Structure 1
C-alpha cells in the first residue's frame, strides 16, 4: 500500500517526493540532504492546506514530548483553546519504573509500572517489563477526550495526545474516542505516534495514511529548529 505524501525541506520548494510504506514506514526512507538548519518534514497530506491534525513521530527519546510541551505553551500564549495529556517517565533512585499520564490541567495518573514474571496481571496489558494500568489511564483520559468542545469563535480547539502507542492502544474505548475526534470537525489533534517497529499498530497506521494528517519526522538534526513549523501548522489546521 502506498501513501500519498511529500518530503518538504527548507530551501527545496517545488520538489516533491512520494513516501512509500517500506519496512521502516513512510517517514523513515532515505532522504536528500537537509537544507538550512536541518529542517525536514514528511506529510501524509499531499497538500498541507488539507491538514486538520498534526502528529510527531520519531524514535524514543528523540524529544517528541518536549516539542509537544513547547508547542502547547506557544499555542496557549496565543489564545488557542487547548486540552489533552502527555506521558512522563517515572523514576526512582535513577531507575525508570514506569510512566504517568499528565493532563494539561495538571491531573496525574498511572499509565504503567514495572512488573515481574510472576505478576498476576492479565498478559494482554503488558508491554515488555511494564504492566499497563488501564483503569487509571481510561479514568483520567477518556472524560476529557469524549467531551472536547466543537470549537470556539476563534477556530477549532486543539487536543494533545502524547502518545498513541502500544500501552494506550490496549484501551478499545480510547481507540474509538480518538477515531471520533479525528473524524469530527470541531477539534485539531496535536499528537505523537511511534516509528514503525515490529507488528503494525492499526490506529497508528490509520493515522499515517489519513489525507488530513500532517506528520513531522523528528530527528536529532531538526528537533531544535522544527518547533515554529509545528505551531504554524497547528494554527493553520484550525482555520
Structure 2
C-alpha cells in the first residue's frame, strides 16, 4: 500500500497544472486539501521569476526573481541562486511553513487530508526548515502528499532521492504537455483510489487499471513503481 503520490517530468510538461486539477477534484470529493503550488511570474511576456501560491486561498509570496542589476551589491546576507534567479528564502518560508503546521490541526468533514507540495526543487531545498517539514509530513499518519519533483540533469538532491526510494510513495512521469488528457488520466486514477481514506492512504487501486491506463508505451503518465 502506498500513501503519497508525486509527479515528475521536464519543465513545462504540465506537472503544476495536473496537481492543481487533481487537488480541486480531491477537495470536491470531501478531502481537506492544503499546501502550495509554484507559478511563473511574467512581465512584458518575459519570465522574471516564480511565486508560491496557497491552494486554498490564492495567497501568494515570492519564491525567486531575476536579480536586478541595479540592486545594491552591498546588501548583507547570503544570496541563494538557481541560474539567473535569486531565491527569496524569507518570503518562501513565511508562506509555506505555516501551511505544513496547519495540516496537523483538526478539520471538519471525514478526516481525509491531502497536502500539496509543488515542488520539491532546488529553490525550495535551500530551506532547511522546509526539508524538515517535508520529512515530517511524509512520516505523518494524518495526511497524504500530492506533490511534484524535478527530473535532475545531474545527481538528484538528497531529499528527492529519498522521496523516490520510499516504499509508501508512487511516482508518475508526465510525458506530454497535453495536460488535459493527462489530467483525465490522473483524475481517473484518483477516482479509482476513492480519494484518500481517513488513515491518509490512497485506496482501491486496480493493477489492471494502472497497467492499461498509465503504464503502456503510449501512456501520458508512467508509474515508476507497481505494487
Q: Shorter-chain TM-score: what band? A: 0.7 to 0.9
Structure 1 CA distance for aligned equivalents of residues 116 and 106 of structure 2: 15
Counterpart check, 1:94 vs 2:54 = no
Counterpart check, 1:165 vs 2:121 = yes
Structure 1 CA distance for aligned equivalents of residues 190 and 86 of structure 2: 34
Q: Is the 8 A contact 1:151 1:186 kept in 2?
A: no
Which residue is 2:14 aligned to? 63
TM-score, normalised to structure 2, is 0.76
**Map of 1:1-239 to 2, 5 A cutoff?**
50-104=1-55, 105-115=57-67, 120=73, 125-149=80-104, 154-220=110-176, 223=179, 224-225=181-182, 226-232=185-191, 233=193, 235-236=195-196, 237-238=201-202
The alpha-carbon deviation at position 214 of structure 1 amounts to 0.6
The alpha-carbon deviation at position 222 of structure 1 amounts to 7.7
Structure 2 CA distance for aligned equivalents of residues 184 and 103 of structure 1: 21
Root-mean-square deviation (CA, aligned residues, Å) is 2.3
3-state SS in 2 of match to 1:145 = helix
Structure 1 CA distance for aligned equivalents of residues 40 and 177 of structure 2: 24
3-state SS in 1 of match to 2:147 = strand
Structure 2 vs 1, CA of residues 140 and 194 (structure 1 numbering), >3 Å: closer, same or farther?
same
Structure 1 CA distance for aligned equivalents of residues 12 and 194 of structure 2: 23
Which residue is 1:42 aligned to? none
Q: Is the 8 A contact 1:87 1:100 kept in 2?
A: yes
Residues 108-143 of structure 1: per-residue CA shift (max 9 Å, x gap): 100000016786476651000000000000000001
Aligned residues: 190
Structure 2 vs 1, CA of residues 221 and 99 (structure 1 numbering), >3 Å: closer, same or farther?
closer
The alpha-carbon deviation at position 150 of structure 1 amounts to 6.0
TM-score, normalised to structure 1, is 0.73
The alpha-carbon deviation at position 197 of structure 1 amounts to 1.7
3-state SS in 1 of match to 2:195 = helix
The alpha-carbon deviation at position 156 of structure 1 amounts to 3.1
Structure 2 CA distance for aligned equivalents of residues 234 and 165 of structure 1: 29
Which residue is 2:222 aligned to? none
Residues 13-36 of structure 1: per-residue CA shift (max 9 Å, x gap): xxxxxxxxxxxxxxxxxxxxxxxx
